Chain A
Amino acid sequence: MDVKHFLRNLSESSGVSGYEQNITEQISTACTWADDMRRDKLGNLIMLKRGEGTKPKKKIMLAAHMDEIGLIITKVEKGGFLRFGTIGGFDQRVLLGQEVIVHGKTPSLGIIGAKPPHVQAHGEQNKAVKLEDLFIDLGYDTKEDAEKLVRIGDLVTLKREVIDLQSSLLAGKAFDDRAGVAAIFECFKILSTLHHEVDVYGVATVQEEVGLRGAVTSTYGIVPDLGIAIDVSFGDQPDLRESETIKLGNGPGIAIGPHVHPKVYDRMVKTAKEWNIKYSLDPSPSPGGTDAYAIQVAQAGVATILLSVPLRYMHTSIETIDYDDVKSTGKLMAMFIAGLNNEFVEGLTCF
C-alpha cells in the first residue's frame, strides 16, 4: 500500500480528541497486515501482528495517537455567528482567517473572523485577537437558521488540504500525530518481509492531546514488555533555538530522558548505526508530553522509548514534515523489532 497517500487522507479527515471514530475506521480499513484487530472501551485501535518465536512470546507495543486538537461550539449568537472553546492547545493567533469544518447536522464550511481593523481602537492591531473575540461565520443570517444546523457542543476541525512543498516535505493539519500512525504502517510494511520473534501490537491511541488517556488504557490491556511511542517533535524553524528542535530530513529523533529505558535507547541507537539510518538525539528533560509517559507506568511498569518525527509549526493548520522521516522512523522500528530476542527483553528489568 501507499502509506504516504494513506497519511494524506488521514490528515484531511476529522477526529478531535474523544471523537476519533472516523479515523479509526480509516486506519482499520487500510490495515491489511494485522492478524487480529480490536478496539478497547475508550476507542483505541489495537492491531496485532504475531511473531514467529516460541511461546510465551514477548510483546512490543507501538503507539501513535490519532486524535487531533480542535474547537468546540459554546454559543450560537445573533446573526448566526458561533463562539467556541478549544480542545487541546491552540495559540489564539493561528486561528484568525482559518477555514474550518463545523461538524453539525452535516459538516459545514465556516470562516474564523474577528471585527475588522478599521473599527478597532488605536493600538489594537498590535495585539493578538483574543480567543473570546473570535467567532465562526457559517454564512447564515440569523441565530435560528444557524441553530437548525449547529448545537452547543458540536465539534470544529481545521479545514486544510495537504500540500506538497519542495523535495518530500508535506504541509497540513494533524500530522501531529497521524504521521506517527503512518510510521507504524511503514514499520509493518517492512516487518512483513522480515522474520521477527515478538508479537507486535500497533496501537492508534485516542485522547493524547487532552492528557495521554488512550495510552493509559491500551497499555493496561496489552501488558507489553516494551513500548515505543511515536510522536512528533519540534522541527527546525527560524524562530526556535537549535537546542529546542530536531532537523527535518535527518530521520527520527531518538528521545533520551526519564521516560526512556537506557538499554532500549542504546539498542535503538546501535540499530540506527548498523542499518545506516539517520537520526537525531532528542534530549527531553520534561518527559510529560507524549504517550511514552503513560505507557511507562502502566501495571508493573514498561520499558519505553520515544521516537519523534520532526515537525515544524506544531498545532497549526500547516504542520510541516518530511515524509522521508516517517519512512526512516518506520524502518528503524522494523529493524529494531526484527533484532529483538527474549534474552534482551528479559534483561530490561535487571538494573
Chain B
Amino acid sequence: MLLAQLTEVNGAPGQEGEVRNLIREQIEPFVDEIKTDALGNLIAIKNPRAIGPKVMLAAHMDEVALMIVGIKNNGMLEFRPIGGIDPRVLVAKTVIVGKKKINGVIGAKPIHLQRPDEREKALSIQELYIDMGVKDKEEAKRLVSLGEIAYFTTKYEEFGEGKVKAKALDDRVGCALAIRLLQEDLSFPLIAAFTVQEEVGLRGAGVATYQIKPDLALILEGTTASDVPGTDEHKHATSLGKGPAITFMDRAVITHPPLVKELFALANEKNIPVQARRNTAGGTDAGQIQLTESGTKVAVIAVPCRYIHSPASVMSKKDYDGAYELIKHYLRCLEEREDFQ
C-alpha cells in the first residue's frame, strides 16, 4: 500500500531522506529523468522534450516532528517542535528517536499527585520530555545526539467508513497523488517536484520551481478539516468525505482564478464531488511557487485531514481518490487543448 508505506517512513524538514528514497524507488519506472538539488528536492520529469504545456505537480515530503535540543542529567531529552505542533497532543505518546531509532515515551505527571487546578492548564513544551529508559546523561548521549529528531510512531490503519488513520498525511497524501499521477500516459512535459522544508516556511518549493519553470503548477496537499463537534459549521474549513478541497486563497497565495474556475467546472462535468476550502488560514508551497521568476499560475488541490500535525490524523479514501480523478481528468483535458498558451 503506497500511502501506508509513505506515512510510516520519517522525514522532518531538512531530513527527508527516507521519504525521498521511497518515492524515488516508486517513480523510477514511470519517468524519464530524476534529479535532486542542493536542498534535497526530488524532481521527476516525464516527457522532457515533448511539446505542449509544462505542467508541475508539487507535494512536500517533510512532516512536523520534534528536534532534540537538550539532554538532562537524568538522561531525559528536551525537545522543540520543527513545524507547528500543539504541545497538548504530545502528552502520553510514544516516539522513535534519532538515527539509531530508539524507542521513547513522552511522560506526564500521574493524576494522583496533581493539584486539581494543574489539570486545567496545558503542559508547555518546556515541561515535557522524552524518556528512553536510560539511567543517566552518559547513557543517553551514547544513543542520541543533539539535533536528532523524534517522530510519532503511528501505524497506518483503515477504519470506520472508508477512513484512514496515519501520521504525516500532511503531505504524504500529496506525495501519493503525485506518484499515482506520474503513471499516466501523457504527451506533454509533466514534472513532479517532491519538495523539502514546507513546514518551516515553504523553503524548498521556490528553489524547485526555479529549475522547472512550469507554465502551470498544481499543488497537492493534505489540509485541515474541522468538521468535528465543538466547531460551528461555518468554521469547517473542509469536511471529510465531501471530495478534494480547492483553495481560493490562504495566507500565502491567491490561486489563479481562471484555473480554479476550470477545476470546479471539470469536477461538475465529470461528476466528481469537490469542495471549496472555506478558510484562509495557513499557507502551502503554492505561495512560493506562484512568486518564482516572473510568476506561475497555481492551484491547490487538497485532501481534507482531521487532527493534522498530531500523531494520528484522519482522512477519507473517497477524497483521496476524488483528488486523483479530478487531476487525472484535468491533465487529460490539457492534452486535448491547443490554445494552452
List residues of A whose CB falls within 8 A of some B CB.
Answer: 77-81, 83, 89-94, 96-99, 108-111, 113-119, 125-130, 133, 135, 137-141, 145, 160, 163-167, 169, 171, 234, 237-240, 244, 249, 289, 312-318, 320, 322
Contact = CB atoms under 8 A, between A and B. Distances in A.
Contact of A318 (B88, B93, B112, B226): B93
Interface in B274-322: 279, 281-282, 306-308, 310-312, 314
18 contacts: A91-B108, A93-B91, A97-B310, A108-B160, A116-B224, A116-B306, A116-B307, A118-B224, A127-B121, A128-B88, A139-B159, A165-B131, A167-B133, A237-B107, A240-B109, A240-B110, A244-B113, A316-B110
A158 B135 CA distance: 28
Contacts of B308: 116
A110 B307 CA distance: 13
Given A314-B110, A316-B110, 10 more contacts: A94-B91, A97-B90, A98-B92, A119-B231, A133-B230, A135-B230, A165-B132, A238-B129, A239-B108, A314-B111
Contacts of A79: 227-229
Interface stretch (B21-29, B59-67, B97-105): B97-105
Contacts of B228: 79, 81, 113-116, 135, 137
B161 A140 contact: yes
B339 interface: no
Nearest to B224: A116
Contact of B306 (A93, A125, A137, A239): A137
B89 to A, nearest CB: 4
Nearest to B279: A118
Of the listed residues B74, B92, B231, the one surrounded by the most CB atoms of chain A closer than 10 A to its CB is B92
B260 interface: no
A314 B241 contact: no
A165 B103 contact: yes
B138 interface: no
Interface in B79-101: 86, 88-94
Contacts of A93: 88, 91, 108, 119, 122-123
Interface of B: 72, 74, 76, 86, 88-94, 102-114, 119-123, 127, 129, 131-135, 139, 143, 153-154, 157, 159-163, 165, 224, 226-232, 235, 237, 240-241, 279, 281-282, 306-308, 310-312, 314
B53 to A, nearest CB: 35
A89 B111 contact: yes
A163 B153 CA distance: 11
Contact of B314 (A111, A119, A165, A169): A111
Of the listed residues A92, A115, A137, A164, the one surrounded by the most CB atoms of chain B closer than 10 A to its CB is A137
Contacts of B111: 89-91, 314-315
Contacts of B93: 97-98, 317-318
A90 B91 CA distance: 13
A346 B170 CA distance: 68
A317 B135 CA distance: 22
Contacts of B282: 118
Given A97-B311, A116-B224, A117-B86, A169 B133 contact: yes
A98 B143 CA distance: 27
Contacts of A169: 133
A116 B133 contact: no
Nearest to B227: A79
Contact of B112 (A238, A239, A289, A322): A289
Contacts of A89: 111-112
A234 B110 contact: yes
Nearest to B162: A139
A318 B160 contact: no
A127 B107 contact: no
A171 B105 contact: yes
Contacts of A126: 121-122
Of all A-B residue pairs in the complex, the 4 with the closest CB atoms, nearest first, are A139-B160, A165-B133, A169-B133, A139-B163
Which of A114, A240, A317 has most B Cβ within 10 Å?
A114
B66 to A, nearest CB: 14
A115 B161 CA distance: 21
Contact of B131 (A81, A289, A312): A312
A167 B107 CA distance: 18
A89 to B, nearest CB: 5
A84 to B, nearest CB: 12
B307 A111 contact: yes
Contacts of B104: 165
B128 to A, nearest CB: 9
Contacts of A164: 103
A98 B152 CA distance: 12
Contacts of A119: 226, 231-232, 235, 237
A166 B134 contact: yes
B109 A81 contact: no
A128 B120 contact: yes
Contacts of A116: 224, 226, 228, 231, 306-308
B108 A111 contact: no
A128 B87 CA distance: 10
Of the listed residues B72, B108, B113, B241, the one surrounded by the most CB atoms of chain A closer than 10 A to its CB is: B108
A171 to B, nearest CB: 5
